[in-house]
Amino acid sequence: MTTTSGTETVARDVAAFLARRRADVDRELERLLPAGDEWPSQLHRAIRHSVFAGGKRLRPILCLAAGEVLGARTEDLIAPACGLEMIHTYSLIHDDLPALDNDDLRRGVPTCHVVFGEATAILAGDSLLTHGLGIFASHPRGERFAAAKVRVLETVVDAIGTRGMIGGQAADLEAENEAAPTAELVAKIHENKTGRLMCASLLVGAILAGASEETLSIVDLYGRRIGLAFQIKDDLLDVESDAATLGKASGKDAAAGKATFPGVWGVDKSRQLLSENVAAAVEAASALPGGGGVLPDLARFVGSRTS
């Protein structure tokens, strides 16, 4: 007789949940993005190449999970959730450009600039950013969301601008020339380049659910911890995994002189810091209604993911 441990059952449930939500997100992205044969078709094909190459869709899933736990309807959240995925995909297309990380493989396929050329890849990224922001202005429709949509836009713009994701990306590039980056610097880079958009994704769901300020601060706490954990894990996977598993090159960070958690702390201590951040996220989520629903399991997934 085979027995299944509680942990395995939870992991299987989360995997099934993620697969279901990924399908929901992909269906909506398909609806929201221009067709590949719409003028200018090369640009639209480039956008679709990167968006539909795959991806975990974690940011939209976090948005849906946070919103639903706080009482929002999926139908009101799904378009903004996809706006977050568009902005994330823009950040990946630009992150891979020769002037930034110079990567050839992403989501298991050649990067946007490798297939379509640099100029089109830059414009595909610009388009996804613009399209994503536009969605926050128009969705969900209805007067009752008017104030929440303004708050959503402010939250996302703050998270992805020079005091957030782009600031983190700039500091990440600058730090390549840093002989001995400090632990504080690496944490700041990671919190900004990756953590802020992830945290904002949760907040978008919570804001659209009409959450109180107190609840938003709990979601923010969870989001900060899961965001940092996500990038620590990304750094660890770059050291420990391979391109076939990740769908992107590994071993690139050390070669490029990137400021990373394993670089500053070593692998063992980085794993410990990862666990601590996951545990803090789990604890924060448990203060939410219904014990945070699927959010604690999503935090554990971030800590244990293999790609």
In the bound complex, which residue of the shown chain has the CB atom lying closest to Mg ion? Answer: 101
Q: Which of 91, 111, 120, 270 binds ligand IPE (CB under 6 A)?
A: 91
107 binds, among Mg ion, ligand IPE, none (CB under 5 to 8 A by kind): ligand IPE
- Residue 39's contacts (CB-CB under 8 Å, 6 or more residues apart) are none
Pick the closest to residue 158 from 210, 97, 87, 260 (CA basis).
87
In the bound complex, which residue of the shown chain has the CB atom lying closest to ligand IPE? Answer: 55
Q: Which of 44, 107, 131, 225 binds ligand IPE (CB under 6 A)?
A: 107
Of 95 and 178, the one with the shorter C-beta distance to ligand IPE is: 95
Of 113 and 248, the one with the shorter C-beta distance to ligand IPE is: 248
φ/ψ (deg, to 5) at 63? -60, -50
Q: How far is the CB of 90 from Mg ion (least distance, A)?
A: 13
Instruction: Give me the residue label for tokens 């730090």.
Output: 175
Tokens of 286: 């448990």
- Residue 57's contacts (CB-CB under 8 Å, 6 or more residues apart) are 18, 21, 22, 25, 26, 85
- The reply on whether position 101 binds ligand IPE by CB under 6 A is yes
- The reply on whether position 231 binds ligand IPE by CB under 6 A is yes
- The reply on whether position 149 binds ligand IPE by CB under 6 A is no
Of 168 and 205, the one with the shorter C-beta distance to Mg ion is: 168
Pick the closest to residue 124 from 135, 114, 113, 133 (CA basis).
113
φ/ψ (deg, to 5) at 302? -60, -35
* Rounded Cα gap, residues 192 and 277, in angstroms: 16
Q: How far is the CB of 303 from Mg ion (least distance, A)?
A: 16
46-65: contacts with ligand IPE (CB under 6 A):
55-56, 58
| Torsion angle of C-alpha atoms 209, 14, 298, 229, degrees rounded to 10 | -160
Q: Which residues bind ligand IPE (CB under 6 A)?
A: 55-56, 58, 88, 91-92, 95, 101, 103, 107, 165, 169, 193-194, 231, 234, 248
Q: Which residues bind Mg ion (CB under 5 A)?
A: 95, 101, 234
